[in-house]
Structure 1
Amino acid sequence: MTGAGTEFRLLGPVEVHQPRTGSRVVPPGAKQRALLAALVVEAGHTVSVERLADELWGAHPPRGAANAVQAHVARLRRLVGPLDGRAGREVIMTEPTGYLLRLGEATTDAGHFRRLSAEGRAAAASDPDRAATLLERALSLWRGPALADCRGGPVCAAEADRLEEQRLLTLEAFYEARLRSARPDGITDDLERLAEEHPLRERFADLLMVALQRAGRHSEALAVYERVRRRLATELGVTPGPSLRGRREALLRQGPPPFPSWERTSERYERYAGYEGYGEDLGHAGDVTDDDPALRAAEMARIGRRLAELSHELRNLTRRFDALTESSHYVTDPLSRSFADQADPR
């Protein structure tokens, strides 16, 4: 039964969890898990049959892909049960062009993570201790890589990348809150590990340099800067951004370690990891000029995936439009025909 208390989990292997009983439901096959994940990612929106087929089989769908998708949906419905336990109130609804998942009173761990992260970042400037607590709770929801067992299709792959970027930005915010809080000690080892795991991500290096400077380890902090500078020059052909350069200058002057504003940190989070990725306006992508090369690369990858999705959707819509036109032998809306001709000038 899917209802109040039910949680669809995406922050790790995909599953459905019932906190009241501690039970969990794991779809038995990879395609069932991918189907559930794609519908949860797009909860409240219809996902076309063509898009679901692309998610499950990629460039090699079976014959009768629509019937195969329908069979997988039927099995998934039996697994998750009716909405709120009411007969006839299916969690997965059949729509004219595809399928739609209704959450009802159910939740997702990804949504819970985003809310806690937003609350933590909002509290950071005025109450870093509370911010650190909220951000730590958000990070504790992760059980492994996002959508760990169903990242083969474009919907799940894009959402997994988006969630991973949000996780990293939340980690950055968490460690900055810890450095600002009443309990700043004991995080240097964590920051060293994160800076090593993400060598092109300047923010972790920045925070590590602050922690080392506070511990009186100035030469080690300068060595972190030099390591990042060489890596950026070798792999990306760029120099460190203003924040990291300012940190180095403060170290050379023996001045106090400055922090960038929390408003800037929040802006970075919203720009690069906003959940509304599928519906956002990409027309101003050229205006993005963030200092962090890793974030620029993430933005470029996200736009590339979105362009691929739009291209796939446009082809499907054009084929559908042409099929309807041929079957009716006329077009009632000349503007629609004009748009279709522009979209696919064959």
Structure 2
Amino acid sequence: MEWEAPESDALDFRVLGPVELLDHRSGARFAPSGGKQRALLAALVVRAGEVLSAERLIDELWGDRPPARAANALHAHVARLRRLLPSTGDGSPEQARIATHPLGYLLRLGSARTDAQYFSRLSAQGRAAVVADPAHAAELLHRALDLWRGPALEGSGRGQICAREAERLEQSRLTTLETLYEAKLRSSRHEEVIGQLERLTAAHPTRERFYDLLMLALYRCGRQSEALGVYERARQRLMGEIGVGPGPALRARMEAIMLRDPGLGAFEPAPASAESALTSLGGEIARLRNRIDVLRHEQDELVRRFKLLSEASTGSPALFEDPSRL
């Protein structure tokens, strides 16, 4: 997903997927070609505005197997990355996108943005609106999630800086997904979300909130027994994965569903069987036929009275002799 770039700097750093840069002026996307270059750019973007020491960057790029002249190798990678990135101003060293400090290196964002920043802002706006305006909240949260092009910082190595940030961003993505489906349920879109939540519980078997939302959606569709079945499935998966059962929130949801708590919202019980559904339909048809017969009788009576009144308006002697005919 794209967003309007500020006029002063048309560059976006994108980390919600493979690390790349997007130049809004030309529409071009570009990224370092080598793994070490991508890891270096990713670490600098993640810690933009912060000086990263050479030792920390060496550890990020090579781990416990640095090259013999690691500082020189790092300096060479920084120089190549500088040539790839546009400056933040007039092109002078003072305006270089990557600045050199006595303690290490620093990436200046300037007025550029990162997709992670935009994702965080949209997510926060969606969470703030979920109670008062769930439909608008769902729109904002969809826009936030559409920014993702794959796993965060994909292809950027396994250094501590990128690994920790990738995990933080993934947890934020899952929380945003949970809030999105809460907003949809608040918008009475429970039928729509069941299949999506089924897939999310399968993909994230220890994420209790997805089970909770699925149980509520099923219950509101009149599928109480299936909602309780989801709780049992969650219990088995949690015991198998982490050795503990569902937490208090999920247990409370199960108990509320068993008691058909009015606070859960609409409950529409399904017919016990196809036979009972047909019996109910047959009874309704018979009642409608009886009602039609009554209405026809009333119609005939009204027609008769109308004719008699017409006779009265023309001065029919028979009507005046026997007014009971009305």
TM-score scaled to structure 1, two decimals?
A: 0.72
Tell me by how many angstroms 1:85 deviates.
5.0
Indicate whether 1:147 and 2:153 are aligned.
yes
1:184-195 correspondence to structure 2 within 5 Å: 184-195=190-201
Aligned match of 1:240:
246
Aligned to 2:44: 39
In structure 2, how many angstroms separate the alpha carbons of the residues matched to 1:140 and 1:61?
A: 38
Structure 2 partner of 1:265: none
SS in 2 for 1:254: coil
Cα offset for 1:120? 0.6
Partners of 1:15 and 1:145 in 2: how far apart?
Answer: 13
* Partner-residue secondary structure (3-state), 2:229: helix
Whole-angstrom CA distance in 2 between matches of 1:239 and 1:258: 23
State the SS of the aligned residue for 1:114: helix
Deviation at residue 239 of structure 1 after TM alignment: 2.1
Deviations 1:251-287 (A, max 9, x none): 111224649xxxxxxxxxxxxxxxxxxxxxxxxxxxx
Spell out the pairing of 1:1-346 with structure 2 (5 A cutoff).
Answer: 4-84=9-89, 86-88=91-93, 89-181=95-187, 183-256=189-262, 258=264
| Larger Rg, first or second structure (1 or 2) | 2
Q: Name the structure 1 match of 2:323.
A: none
> Whole-Å Cα distance in 2 between the matches of residues 225 and 181 of structure 1?
23
- Structure 1 unaligned segments of length 5 or more: list them: 260-346
- AA matched with 2:45: V
Question: Shift in Å at residue 143 of structure 1?
Answer: 0.3
**Helix, strand or coil at the partner of 1:186:** helix
Q: Kindly indicate whether the alpha-carbon contact (under 8 Å) linking 1:247 and 1:257 is maintained by their aligned counterparts in 2.
A: no
Tell me if structure 2 keeps the 8 A contact 1:48–1:97: yes
Contact 1:40 1:101 in 2 (8 A): yes
Contact 2:190-2:221 within 8 A present in 1 as well: no
Which residue in the other structure is 1:279 paired with?
none
Q: What CA distance in whole angstroms lies between the structure 2 residues aligned with 1:4 and 1:186?
A: 41
- In the other structure, the counterpart of 2:268 is none
Deviation string 1:299-337 (CA, Å, 9 cap, x unpaired) is xxxxxxxxxxxxxxxxxxxxxxxxxxxxxxxxxxxxxxx
**Corresponding residue pairs, total:** 258
Asked if the contact 1:4–1:84 (Cα under 8 Å) also holds between the matched residues in 2, the reply is no
User: What is the alpha-carbon distance in structure 2 between the residues aligned to residue 226 and residue 171 of structure 1?
Assistant: 23
For 1:39 and 1:220, the matched residues in 2 are separated by 49
Aligned match of 2:303: none
Which ranges in structure 2 are unaligned for 5 or more consecutive residues? 1-5, 266-326
- Provide the alpha-carbon RMSD of the alignment: 1.6
The farther-off stretch of 2-11 and 75-84 is 2-11
Give the residue type in structure 2 aligned to 1:46. V
SS in 2 for 1:93: strand
1:168-224 Cα offsets, whole Å, 9 max, x none, are: 000000000110025444111110000111111100000000111111111111111
Q: Which amino acid aligns with 1:127?
A: D
CA contact (8 A) 2:190 2:220 kept: no
The 3-state SS of whatever aligns with 1:187 is helix
Q: What is the alpha-carbon distance in structure 1 between the residues aligned to residue 148 and residue 50 of structure 2? A: 25
Does structure 2 retain, via aligned residues, the 8 Å contact 1:124–1:131? yes
State how far apart, in whole Å, the 1-side matches of 2:186 and 2:81 are.
47
Q: Greater CA deviation, 5-14 or 247-256?
A: 247-256
Measured in 1, the distance between the counterparts of 2:90 and 2:23 equals 13
Amino acid of the residue matched to residue 59 of structure 1?
A: D
Q: What secondary structure sits across from 2:192 in the alignment? A: coil
| TM-score for the superposition, normalised by structure 2 | 0.76
